[in-house]
């Protein structure tokens, strides 16, 4: 498959209702927030995990669409499998650069997330090098400050006989955001796709499909109701692009409707896009 020939940026807008979109291990898994502003935060790692999970479901059994970052086996084992597939020798001292390059190309060809996001594969006895991926995603941030609510829940089953002696039920807790609208921005580099991973037009279409559907097969009681609301894509007519990314992101405006002080639904917002694009850039509203 031929690598993409156009640079892209994208803005995705999504919301959460009565859920925890991304728990913070440093704060007892409460929703991530900026402590200074109270804006909600979702990490790039969290969002890429959802994209990987969708691709794994959507392309299960399809060659060249494996997922490297998943908990089925150790990464080093997968690197050694690449050496086996390429007929390369294992555990060589002073690893041959050509062998590493061949193994890296194998990983790019066979693993969608390596072609897309890149990977550090330089560990273990059979290193496959380091790949800088053409698709990069920022942290998502809420449009307005979010209110984190700690909710008491009743647990009907106890874990030990000793705890059963004090009663059949006990109180637990879960942290939620009653409502929050989030925006995330990302980048797709045609130069890195051509020089590094071979990220193709088919891979790109799969990326848009995965972003649009990333919450649809990732439901859980903890995350509540999460919905992808909008996906705006900026397409440049060449490899290097025609305008700075931040200028394009500023074309998407999100404002509270008149009279709304504390948004509690998507209907409390107005989203608009300035279609006056720089020369050589097209705005595509995919959702």
Kindly list the averaged pLDDT for each block of 10 residues, start to end, along the chain of length 287.
Answer: 95 97 92 95 97 96 94 93 91 78 95 97 92 97 94 79 75 90 98 95 97 94 94 97 97 95 95 96 96
Q: Give the single-character DSSP code of 196.
A: I
CA nearest neighbour of 146 among 17, 283, 258, 24: 17
- For residue 216, how many other CB atoms are within 10 A of its CB? 13
pTM to 2 decimal places: 0.91
pLDDT at position 161: 75
- Asked if 66 and 45 touch (Cβ cutoff 8 Å), the reply is no
Q: Give me the sign of the Cα torsion angle 220, 224, 229, 230.
A: negative
Let me know: does 92 contact 126? Beta carbons within 8 Å.
Answer: no
pLDDT at position 75: 94
pLDDT in the model for residue 93: 66
Phi-psi region of 251 (alpha: psi -120 to 50; beta: other; left: phi over 0): alpha
The pLDDT score that the predictor gives to residue 94 is 63
**Predicted pLDDT of residue 64:** 95
């Amino acid at each position: 498959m031929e690598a993409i020939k156009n640079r892209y940026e994208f803005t995705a807008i999504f919301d959460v209702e009565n859920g925890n979109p991304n728990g913070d291990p440093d704060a007892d898994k409460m929703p991530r927030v900026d402590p200074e502003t109270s804006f909600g935060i979702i990490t790039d790692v969290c969002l890429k995990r959802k994209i990987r999970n969708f691709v794994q479901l959507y392309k299960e059994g399809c060659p060249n669409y494996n997922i490297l970052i998943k908990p089925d086996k150790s990464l080093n084992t997968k690197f050694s499998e690449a050496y086996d597939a390429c007929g390369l020798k294992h555990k060589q001292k002073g690893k041959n650069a050509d062998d590493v390059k061949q193994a890296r190309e194998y990983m790019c060809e066979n693993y969608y997330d390596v072609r897309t996001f890149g990977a550090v594969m330089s560990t273990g006895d059979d290193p496959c090098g380091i790949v800088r991926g053409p698709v990069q995603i920022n942290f998502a941030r809420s449009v307005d400050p979010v209110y984190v609510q700690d909710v008491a829940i009743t647990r009907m089953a106890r874990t030990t006989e000793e705890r059963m002696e004090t009663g059949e039920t006990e109180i637990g807790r879960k942290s939620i955001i009653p409502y929050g609208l989030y925006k995330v921005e990302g980048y797709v580099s045609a130069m890195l796709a051509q020089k590094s991973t071979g990220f193709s037009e088919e891979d790109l279409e799969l990326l848009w499909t995965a972003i649009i559907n990333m919450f649809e097969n990732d439901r859980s009681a903890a995350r509540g109701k999460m919905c992808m609301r909008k996906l705006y894509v900026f397409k440049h007519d060449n490899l290097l692009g025609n305008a700075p990314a931040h200028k394009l992101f500023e074309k998407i405006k999100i404002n509270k409707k008149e009279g709304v002080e504390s948004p509690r639904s998507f209907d409390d917002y107005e989203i608009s896009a300035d279609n006056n694009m720089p020369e050589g850039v097209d705005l595509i509203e995919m959702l």
